[in-house]
Amino acid sequence: MQQHLLSNCYKEKQMRITWPDGTNVKANFYVKGDKKSRVAVQQNRLAKAADMARAKKRWHGALDRLEVLLA
């Protein structure tokens, strides 16, 4: 299992993580109503377009699984 470093968490609305590969992830959480929310994920320092495409696919899958768990 890979380790990551949670560098900051601001008022439960933003989280920053540094992955072992040196990329940075920022997740922002937004309240959209009584039972709704939105999360926006940004991963930086990806070297190649192919890396970006893989990361985007992984994040979509992870967020889809989270949506199912929270439903």
Tell me the whole-structure pTM to 2 decimals: 0.73
Instruction: Let me know the angle formed at the C-alpha of 56 by 40 and 1, rounded to the nearest 5 degrees.
Output: 95
Rounded to whole angstroms, how far apart are CA atoms 9 and 11? 7
Angle at 37 between CA 36 and CA 43, to 5 degrees: 155
Sheet holding 36-44, edge to edge: 5-10, 14-18, 24-33, 36-44
Query: pLDDT tens, position by position, for the chain (71 residues)?
Result: 455 555 555 556 888 999 888 999 999 988 888 888 888 999 999 999 999 999 999 999 999 998 899 88
Q: Are 60 and 36 in contact (CB under 8 A)?
A: no
